[in-house]
Amino acid sequence: MADIALAPRRAKTEIREATAWDKLRHNKNWLGFWFMLPALAFLIFFLAYPLGLGIWLSFTDARIGRVGHYIGTENYEWLWDDSIFWLSVFNTLIYTFIASAIKFAVGLYLALLLNERMPFKALLRAAVLIPFIVPTVLSALAFWWIFDSQFSIISWSLKHLGLITQNINFLGDSTWARICVIFANIWRGVPFVAITLLAGLQTVQPSLYEAATLDGASRWQMFRFITYPLLTPIIAVVMTFSVLFTFTDFQLIWAMTRGGPVNATHLMATLSYQRAIIAGQLGEGAAISSAMIPFLLAAIMVSWFGLQRRKWQQGESND
Amino acid sequence: MTDLPAQKADLKSILSTPARVDNSEGMSYLQSVPRRIVTLYIPLSIIVIILLFPFYWMGLTAIKPDDQLLDLDRYNPFWTWNPTFKHIHKLLFESYYPHWLWNTMYVAIGATVLSIIASVLAAYAIVRLRYKGANVVGGLIFLAYLVPPSILFIPLATVVFQYGLFDSPLALILTYPTILIPFSTWLLMGYFKTIPFELEECALIDGASRWQILIKIVLPLAIPGLISAFIFCFTLCWNEFIYALTFLQSTPNKTVPVAIVNEFVDGDIYRWGSLMAGALCGSLPLVILYAFFVEHYVSAMTGAVKE
């Protein structure tokens, strides 16, 4: 009897209250927290904290090797009167606008071409993506050599075709330098746009085109009223990324021109590097890079919501 | 609008099975061959030639002898009949280039492995544990993807200096994950969502812990996603420039992109050969990796965008 009485009691003790330790190990929310911990630690220590620190630095007179003191908006006031800063803002806007627009146009065109049926399609698609794979700096160096003032292959070809008599001073002339860096940026960005849009294109049902052909639609009409509306969601995302990365571009400019000639190709990112790291004015550099944030937010809003609304309109009219 | 989710799910399967593309065959007979040449083959070949020309030029310059490099009148610049390995030899045996390659590799693998571990855990928790606020955290991680390194490098430089990591590869291994984690978390979230929930329920009933489920059930099924994330992160690390430029000082510690820009660019008029050889050798590992995993790259790119 005593044994029987004992056995259930022992069983009972096994179903004990969940201790704090058990909760830490099995509770869904705590478990979620443990799983998130490594990623969050990285993102907080090396992303969120520096982001805040950068904005704080822009209000101080920090230099390399010296902790800064709060000086209010002096850095920003200084930048407000700085013509080089405004030139870099102007350059960045032009660079972003022209490069993104052409990247979108050429990328979409290339995606449409690659979507056709043809031999060696997989090989072509793989080849198109190579500029995106190769490190930007290294391909920028190739462009630097292609655009060399004396030994440029482009100048050579044009001279032999009889179109020009003098070498074009590609990276020494401010207009040419801008065109060259924008070209290099487009060259590097087109594959990304094309391949992602191609993925979107392949989801469009062929039967839609067949129906449109029966209805007598032209190729342009098929693009305008079938392809484009169905692609808008993916276009919005791709262009948001494209604008974002073009606006904050640094390496291409740094490898090709370092902001020259006469600051004609200085972007905000390269200017902030020059002021903060090379000249040592951390506060001023931080102010320049913080000044990029509102532009970035605006660019994201425009490309995101601007295209998003069309998607809704289309969706409503289609339903 | 209503068919949007179906489209998203389709995306990957269509990319991985090119056979479906042949459905469009039905329409192509409407176009004559000359028309296809003008509207398709000519523009396509022009674009592809422009996209690939810089690499041809890079490779050609790397193996051209110096005298042919700068004498455009006597030699046709588009070809060379006597290639030389002088520039590559100089690069590999008379400079720190092997060091830089090793540094780049070391940093890229270190940062990628750290980020993949952190993102696997985070993505699994967001998709499957569904703890309180999981969606908000997912959104915040996506926002982190939109924070560009150009804004962060100045404050990060002071942080790195404070922690005593300046001029050490560890500085890059610890900072690169901020770029990689948001991307790979979103990519892996997409993959984890495709794994049937029932498998995990079975395992839970059989008494598996969450950790065991992740290691023994989810990860083996998500291997294509892991490969995509891994090679894409590796490429991003190899490509990264501004952090490496800011945080590394001494010549032997540099990574390939920074070292080539800083160490090879001197006043020497004959620098082009070794410069292009350096660029070529720095690109080749990635191109080779890419050649083996084209489909994974494409799915990584489109996977991160489609979310």
Is residue B214 over pLDDT 60? yes
Percent pLDDT > 70 in chain B is 87
pLDDT, mean of residues B8-13: 44
Residue B7 pLDDT: 42
| R_g of chain B, CA atoms, integer Å | 24
Contact of B238 with B220, CB cutoff 8 Å = no
Residue B6 pLDDT: 40
pLDDT: is B68 or B14 the higher one? B68
Distances (CA, A) of A149 to A227, A303, B163: 43, 37, 44
Smallest Cβ–Cβ distance between A50 and the set B14, B41, B159 belongs to B159
Searching chain B, which residue's CA lies closest to the CA of residue A138? B279
pLDDT: is A9 or B149 the higher one? B149
In angstroms, the CA A288 to CA B255 distance is 27
Sequence letter at residue B232: F
Smallest Cβ–Cβ distance between A57 and the set B43, B155, B302 belongs to B155
Searching chain B, which residue's CA lies closest to the CA of residue A317? B1
Query: Would A2 be classed as within a structural domain?
Result: no
Residue B59, number of CB atoms within 10 A of its CB: 18
Contact of A223 with A280, CB cutoff 8 Å = no
Per residue in A130-153, pLDDT (tens digit) is 998 899 999 999 998 898 888 888
* B52 near A CB under 8 A: yes
Q: Per-residue b/e over B92-106, b at no fewer than 16 CB within 10 Å?
A: eeebbbeebbebbbe
Residue A182 pLDDT: 94
Which residue of A43, A143, A257 is the best one to mutate when testing the B interface, meaning the one whose CB has the most B CBs within 10 A? A43
Is residue A111 domain-shared with residue A45, that is, in the same domain?
no
| R_g of chain A, CA atoms, integer Å | 28
Smallest Cβ–Cβ distance between A145 and the set B61, B118, B306 belongs to B61
Q: CB B122 to CB A312 under 8 A?
A: no
In angstroms, the CA B213 to CA B222 distance is 12
Residue A143 pLDDT: 92
Domain segments of chain B as ranges: 29-84, 96-306
In angstroms, the CA B248 to CA B171 distance is 8
What backbone torsions phi and psi does residue B164 show, to the nearest 5 degrees?
Answer: 70, 25
User: Which domain, by its residues, includes A37?
Assistant: 16-57
Distances (CA, A) of A4 to A13, A16, A272, B154: 15, 20, 80, 73
Residues of chain B positioned with their CB less than 8 A from the CB of A128: 47-48, 51
Is residue A116 domain-shared with residue A228, that is, in the same domain?
yes
Choose from B11-20, B129-138, B210-219 the range with maximum mean pLDDT: B210-219
Q: CB B144 to CB A213 under 8 A?
A: no
Searching chain B, which residue's CA lies closest to the CA of residue A135? B239
Residue A15 pLDDT: 62
Q: Which tokens in the block code for residue B66? A: 């110096």
Q: What are the beta bridge partners of residue A60? A: A70
Residue B304 pLDDT: 59
Is residue A242 domain-shared with residue A156, that is, in the same domain?
yes
Searching chain B, which residue's CA lies closest to the CA of residue A188? B51
Q: CB B131 to CB A29 under 8 A?
A: yes
Q: What are the beta bridge partners of residue A66? A: A63
Query: Would A10 be classed as within a structural domain?
Result: no
Residue A84 pLDDT: 92
Is residue A24 domain-shared with residue A120, that is, in the same domain?
no
Burial zone of B132 (CB within 10 Å; 0-12 exposed, 13-18 middle, 19+ buried): exposed
Contact of B159 with A283, CB cutoff 8 Å = no
Q: CB A126 to CB B178 under 8 A?
A: no
Q: CB A199 to CB B11 under 8 A?
A: yes
Residue B190 pLDDT: 86
In angstroms, the CA B174 to CA B107 distance is 9
Searching chain A, which residue's CA lies closest to the CA of residue B20? A202
- CA–CA min distance A151, chain B (Å): 7
CATH of the domain at A102: 1.10.3720.10
In angstroms, the CA A310 to CA B23 distance is 29
Smallest Cβ–Cβ distance between A138 and the set B40, B178, B279 belongs to B279
Searching chain A, which residue's CA lies closest to the CA of residue B275? A141
Is residue A170 domain-shared with residue A251, that is, in the same domain?
yes
In angstroms, the CA A13 to CA A245 distance is 61
Residues of chain B positioned with their CB less than 8 A from the CB of A249: 150
Residue B15 pLDDT: 45
Sign of CA dihedral B237, A148, A171, A285: positive
Contact of B237 with B105, CB cutoff 8 Å = no
Q: CB B151 to CB A289 under 8 A?
A: yes
Is residue B25 over pLDDT 70? no
* B150 near A CB under 8 A: yes
Is residue B102 over pLDDT 80? yes
- CA–CA min distance B25, chain A (Å): 7
Contact of A226 with A206, CB cutoff 8 Å = no
Helix (H, G, I), strand (E, B) or coil at A315: helix
Helix (H, G, I), strand (E, B) or coil at A97: helix
User: What are the residues whose beta carbons fall under 8 Å from the beta carbon of B205, sequence distance 6 or more?
Assistant: none
Per residue in A250-290, pLDDT (tens digit) is 999 998 888 878 888 999 999 999 998 888 888 899 999 99
Sequence letter at residue A150: Q
The CATH number of domain B96-306 is 1.10.3720.10: yes
* B273 near A CB under 8 A: no
List of chain A residues with pLDDT < 50: 1-2, 311-319
Residue B28 pLDDT: 64
- CA–CA min distance A255, chain B (Å): 6
Residue owning tokens 């179109």: A163
pLDDT, mean of residues B135-142: 85
Helix (H, G, I), strand (E, B) or coil at A68: coil
Per residue in B218-245, pLDDT (tens digit) is 899 989 889 999 998 999 999 899 999 9
Residue A49 pLDDT: 92
Residues of chain B positioned with their CB less than 8 A from the CB of A292: 150-151
- Triad A178, A176, A141: Cα angle to 5°: 70
Give the residue from B289, B237, B137, B97 showing the smallest Cα distance to A29. Answer: B137
Sequence letter at residue A283: G
- What letter would DSSP give residue A223? I
Is residue B20 over pLDDT 60? no
Q: CB B150 to CB A292 under 8 A?
A: yes
Residue B56 pLDDT: 92
Residues of chain B positioned with their CB less than 8 A from the CB of A51: 147, 151-152, 155
Q: CB A42 to CB B178 under 8 A?
A: yes
Residues of chain A positioned with their CB less than 8 A from the CB of B283: 134-135, 138-139
Q: CB A203 to CB B297 under 8 A?
A: no
Is residue B1 over pLDDT 80? no
Residue B251 pLDDT: 83
Query: Would A94 be classed as within a structural domain?
Result: yes
Distances (CA, A) of A218 to A59, A225, B251: 59, 10, 60
Q: CB B298 to CB A50 under 8 A?
A: no
Residue A7, number of CB atoms within 10 A of its CB: 10
Burial zone of A206 (CB within 10 Å; 0-12 exposed, 13-18 middle, 19+ buried): middle
Residues of chain B positioned with their CB less than 8 A from the CB of A134: 55, 283, 286-287
Helix (H, G, I), strand (E, B) or coil at A63: strand
pLDDT: is B131 or A24 the higher one? B131
Instruction: Read off the pTM.
Output: 0.85
Residues of chain B positioned with their CB less than 8 A from the CB of A141: 260-261, 275-276, 279
DSSP chain B: -TTHHHHHHHHHHHHH-GGGGGGGHHHHTTS-HHHHIIIIIHHHHHHHHHHHHHHHHHHHHHHS-HHHHH-TTTS-TT--SS---HHHHHHHHSSSHHHHHHHHHHHHHHHHHHHHHHHHHHHHIIIII--TTHHHHHHHHHHHHTS-HHHHHHHHHHHHHHTT-TTSHHHHHHHTHHHHHHHHHHHHHHHHHTS-HHHHHHHHHTT--HHHHIIIIIHHHTHHHHHHHHHHHHHHHHH--HHHHHH--SGGG--HHHHHHHHS-SS-TTHHHHHHHHHHHHHHHHHHHHHH-HHHHHHHHHHHHH-
In angstroms, the CA B274 to CA B224 distance is 38
Smallest Cβ–Cβ distance between B181 and the set A42, A50, A254 belongs to A42
Contact of A303 with A236, CB cutoff 8 Å = yes
Is residue A96 domain-shared with residue A210, that is, in the same domain?
yes
Query: Would A162 be classed as within a structural domain?
Result: yes
Q: CB A130 to CB B15 under 8 A?
A: no
Helix (H, G, I), strand (E, B) or coil at A280: coil
Q: CB A139 to CB B294 under 8 A?
A: no
User: What are the residues whose beta carbons fall under 8 Å from the beta carbon of A194, sequence distance 6 or more?
Assistant: A106, A107, A108, A110, A111, A114, A128
Structural domains counted in chain A: 2
Residue owning tokens 């996977």: B303
> Residues for chain B: how many in total?
307
Query: Would A73 be classed as within a structural domain?
Result: no
Q: Which tokens in the block code for residue B273? A: 């050969």
Is residue A119 domain-shared with residue A189, that is, in the same domain?
yes
* N-to-C CA span, chain B: 15
Residue B107 pLDDT: 93
